[in-house]
Structure 1
């Protein structure tokens, strides 16, 4: 580690109007070092880094303090207050950025090659041919399959993990001195997350890049960073080596973040009788989709002969990587996708072929909670309107007053104040929006609740509270859950039985205690191995 930090941030502050968003944050990052910045949504993580790198463009924002970028030759650039010309010269060339959602960061209208070569032609003055050769080398370096063919592909033709690899290639195109990784693995499944973490570690070792890694999950930070800064409400409440933070956290907030992490060796749900009757039975489910490809029409076999049963008042964890067919199964059960074969019965009634009023009555018995509560709630509808909609559709409340009373009951049930009924989704936090989604799903009094990655986009502390809520509701009302997810630590916490899928087929299906104690299939063992360990890996 060189004595001179590559990036040195001192007493950084951000104010918008009378509100202080970042207050006196300082940190250094050296060559070949990763510094972790961790905290919940709204803690000021991204704001700190955006302000420290000159990217903050919020109306009325006032940035104070200093942020100095120093190269190997000793040339320093002050980023706070730098002119647009200076920042254009630095961004992309000396500082690379990888953001959380590659789907919105990549230009959907440009090929991967053009998006990589753009910065090479601008900052390195390469010819189009030279930049194309370098783009191919970068795609090979980040491990993208068939890199030569992928050069001419568009972002929508790649998976989430592949798009994130492309973002890393773009960020590293000009050999930057600092890489800013802002929640780069949050939206990815655990195996892809592990691959991205390993990729950044390898590239950092090969190129000597300094990395600032932002995350809400101390488990992820423990895999990549030796030093960590914990932020809360824009203030650094703790700064220490990662092992000190894990073993001897000084601040109560840090201890809360550590306690909220789901872990594989934690306790599962309370046991239920093994002879409990089945509520949902699925047999031989088969789903195929016709898709357009550059060489013509093709068929994707999304779900292949999938069978399972869910016992009443229990949780079946349906786990697998992105593209394994998990959400397609949920779409079939909720009537959004018509299967090509198989059967599914709820309490003995076929839910795939039923039509008319019987179908409406049956669909009421199956609730659905999706991953992103912000996009699943109508932004123009107040909370009471969203929750009462199922009451109107299914005729479960005779009057407006009855609906208001029921909305108040449901809000109280999910732990929200009744005053929230008058709020709009944008006025709620992520965890509060997800509680509203759960209340809406429960309004129709379903027998089966499908939770499709229902906690994947939440902070770990918010996730812990939502999981605790779901566990309480199941215990109090005997609810039955189909819990879809890619994080086996979350699946472990709620599931009585687990079904593992890969490429549309069932890999392993067993009681949760047996599967976690001794997985039979290598794919299941790989999923378990990809869960962040309890001990920080970056410290060893």
Structure 2
């Protein structure tokens, strides 16, 4: 092939009166990975969607050029291309892997059918040949027992397996270009490392060009040869990844580099050796019965887990997806009923608490947009727990004053009282969720992946807020996360979980300096390192 697989020149995207992408240009060669990085709203996904002809928004205007080459004589202009041309290209010459395979995969079709569909459409394979190819692809992406799992549905796969299946769908027709849009953001660090290695292995074997979109320069440093930094739809820096890490030219790039979580010897909050136990969990056991093709099966989600959280400190629960972290949080907050075990909060039985005592433990969820009612204003959302639990005064005026205090506490102006969730950024919505949790005046706040869906710079601001609240209010946190760099930054103590069981528990400085268990060392090794991976020759 002569020339790049994809060349984009002076790409501009407007929707209505808003200019979303302004004059972006880039190129990506075969076997090369271009990383596109920036915060939410920087235009990353919109740039790639426009370059591949996938924008379908009312009032859109796309100009510039985006030329895709699959062979020496096969060049297609995608900007302004007809629907027929785009149908011929998508799924054949261009494959897509999106952030959430749960919404990208069709829940009504088996994984095998979603792979064979493109093979039959673009390659003309018979049903039997396409099925054989689908099994081979599932094996190539590391799905165990592919001849059996080919007939499974997406909900029967774990999060990491769904993403692997999505990669199999994207690579079914050996595309010249693979678009990976935040493909590892929602995954734990070990699964993220496996997906990165998988994509790079398949890329070397097939000569695929890859455009990898992420808000995290730490991830981009492990996958990309070159990086394009976008800010408000403008390319502010475009250079080899090693040069960007060594000497970033733009202040925004330096800000992104400084915000990425890293494991450091001097990281972590100051120790609090005299803090007394506040929350004691002993022998917690949670089981679920699920339906399978062969009959009901019992899943032992949490198996004999014990730990204690000290007052005014942060205890982190870490582990891969399926390790039981969120199930423990749900049991403590009354969302699921454990089969056995005890949980006492300052001597009170938490598992059998009355509603008045339930407010002593509050929860902040991963996705603030999903956890806030879109029909309620910020003021109503924060007022609700005050009204239900009769806190913040007896009159509406007193409660409104208390809401203003809570918003100020989390760094939001009083004017936000009248806004709705869709009018806020991700970081602002999460601050509202934290204010709502603080309204309960709880003894413990459970943070269930509370920063996982945020940009690294916004994540850094939220973590700073949480540490400030702990210092000022003496707040106690149960911090659930899969990112060990963030865990080190926030936590006094750490409990490592695997398949519902505790494999290691220790003070955070001790665990990070000298992990005892191989599984803990595996989690630490999966964290993106300080320096970028060596550029491939």
2:473 is matched with which residue: 471, 477, 490?
Answer: 477
Aligned to 2:313: 314
C-alpha distance after superposition, 1:110-159 (max 9, x if no partner): 01111000000000011111111110110011011111111110000001
1:405 is matched with which residue: 397, 401, 418?
Answer: 401
Measured in 1, the distance between the counterparts of 2:488 and 2:268 equals: 8
Measured in 1, the distance between the counterparts of 2:125 and 2:317 equals: 49
User: 1:411–1:417: 8 Å Cα contact kept in structure 2?
Assistant: yes
Aligned to 1:377: 372
User: 1:225–1:538: 8 Å Cα contact kept in structure 2?
Assistant: no
C-alpha distance after superposition, 1:404-462 (max 9, x if no partner): 11111111110111111101101111110000000000001111010000000000000
Measured in 2, the distance between the counterparts of 1:344 and 1:366 equals: 12
Aligned to 1:424: 420
Measured in 1, the distance between the counterparts of 2:534 and 2:54 equals: 28
Aligned to 2:455: 459
Runs of 5+ consecutive residues of structure 1 not aligned to the other structure? none
C-alpha distance after superposition, 1:162-194 (max 9, x if no partner): 001111001000010000000000111110000
1:266 CA displacement: 5.7
User: 2:2–2:72: 8 Å Cα contact kept in structure 1?
Assistant: no
Measured in 1, the distance between the counterparts of 2:386 and 2:421 equals: 19
Aligned to 2:263: 264
1:272 CA displacement: 3.7
User: 1:224–1:538: 8 Å Cα contact kept in structure 2?
Assistant: no
Aligned to 1:325: 324
Aligned to 1:4: 3
1:276 CA displacement: 1.8
Aligned to 1:37: 36
C-alpha distance after superposition, 1:492-521 (max 9, x if no partner): 001000000000000000000000001000
Measured in 2, the distance between the counterparts of 1:481 and 1:154 equals: 37
Aligned to 2:444: 448
Aligned to 1:390: 385
Give the superposed CA RMSD: 1.0
Measured in 2, the distance between the counterparts of 1:521 and 1:479 equals: 30
Task: Tell me whether 459-468 or 16-25 shows the greater mean CA deviation.
Answer: 16-25
1:73 CA displacement: 2.4
- Residue 284 of structure 1 aligns to a residue whose secondary structure is strand
Relative to structure 1, is the Cα distance of residues 272 and 533 closer, same or farther in structure 2, using a 3 angstrom cutoff? closer
Measured in 1, the distance between the counterparts of 2:368 and 2:17 equals: 30
TM-score normalised over the length of structure 1: 0.98
Mapped pair 1:119 → 2:118: yes
2:496 is matched with which residue: 487, 497, 500?
Answer: 500
Aligned to 1:487: 483
Measured in 2, the distance between the counterparts of 1:251 and 1:142 equals: 38
Equivalences for residues 66-85 of structure 1 within 5 A:
66-85=65-84
- Residue 530 of structure 2 aligns to a residue whose secondary structure is coil
Mapped pair 1:532 → 2:533: no
Measured in 1, the distance between the counterparts of 2:322 and 2:432 equals: 28
C-alpha distance after superposition, 1:227-266 (max 9, x if no partner): 0000000000000000111110010100000000111116
Runs of 5+ consecutive residues of structure 2 not aligned to the other structure? none
Aligned residues: 535
1:70 CA displacement: 1.3
What stretches of structure 1 move > 4 A for 4+ residues in a row? none
Aligned to 1:514: 510
Aligned to 1:222: 221
Aligned to 2:152: 153
1:337 CA displacement: 1.2
- Residue 185 of structure 1 aligns to a residue whose secondary structure is coil
Aligned to 2:93: 94
Measured in 1, the distance between the counterparts of 2:265 and 2:11 equals: 39
C-alpha distance after superposition, 1:375-417 (max 9, x if no partner): 0000100000100111001101211101111111111110111
1:267 CA displacement: 3.7
- Residue 406 of structure 2 aligns to a residue whose secondary structure is helix
Measured in 1, the distance between the counterparts of 2:192 and 2:65 equals: 33
Measured in 2, the distance between the counterparts of 1:139 and 1:484 equals: 31
1:269 CA displacement: 3.8
Measured in 2, the distance between the counterparts of 1:285 and 1:309 equals: 12
Measured in 2, the distance between the counterparts of 1:162 and 1:46 equals: 24
Relative to structure 1, is the Cα distance of residues 220 and 192 closer, same or farther in structure 2, using a 3 angstrom cutoff? same
Measured in 2, the distance between the counterparts of 1:390 and 1:215 equals: 36
Relative to structure 1, is the Cα distance of residues 416 and 16 closer, same or farther in structure 2, using a 3 angstrom cutoff? same
1:74 CA displacement: 2.7
1:368 CA displacement: 0.4
Equivalences for residues 155-304 of structure 1 within 5 A:
155-265=154-264, 267-304=266-303
User: 1:266–1:493: 8 Å Cα contact kept in structure 2?
Assistant: no
TM-score normalised over the length of structure 2: 0.98
- Residue 43 of structure 1 aligns to a residue whose secondary structure is coil
1:3 CA displacement: 5.3
